[in-house]
Amino acid sequence: MKQIKTLTKASLKETKSKGGCGECQTSCQSACKTSCTVANQKCENI
């Protein structure tokens, strides 16, 4: 494509069926303790 560069195709929809195992870290435990960025957590089931 000439006018659009897709930087990530990471499809959230694909994780709908295989996600939810819950083995990932609780986000509040990592560094914030007051706010809530979840998207920087790692999946532990890849």
Six-digit token pair at 46? 């890849």
In whole angstroms, how close is the CB of 17 to another protein at the nearest point?
Answer: 9
Of 8, 29, 27, the closest CA to residue 43 belongs to: 27
In whole angstroms, how close is the CB of 18 to another protein at the nearest point?
Answer: 7
Site string for another protein, 1-40 (x = CB under 8 A): xxxxxxxxxxxxx-xx-xxx-xxxxxxxxxxxxxxxxxxx
Q: Which residues bind another protein (CB under 8 A)?
A: 1-13, 15-16, 18-20, 22-44, 46
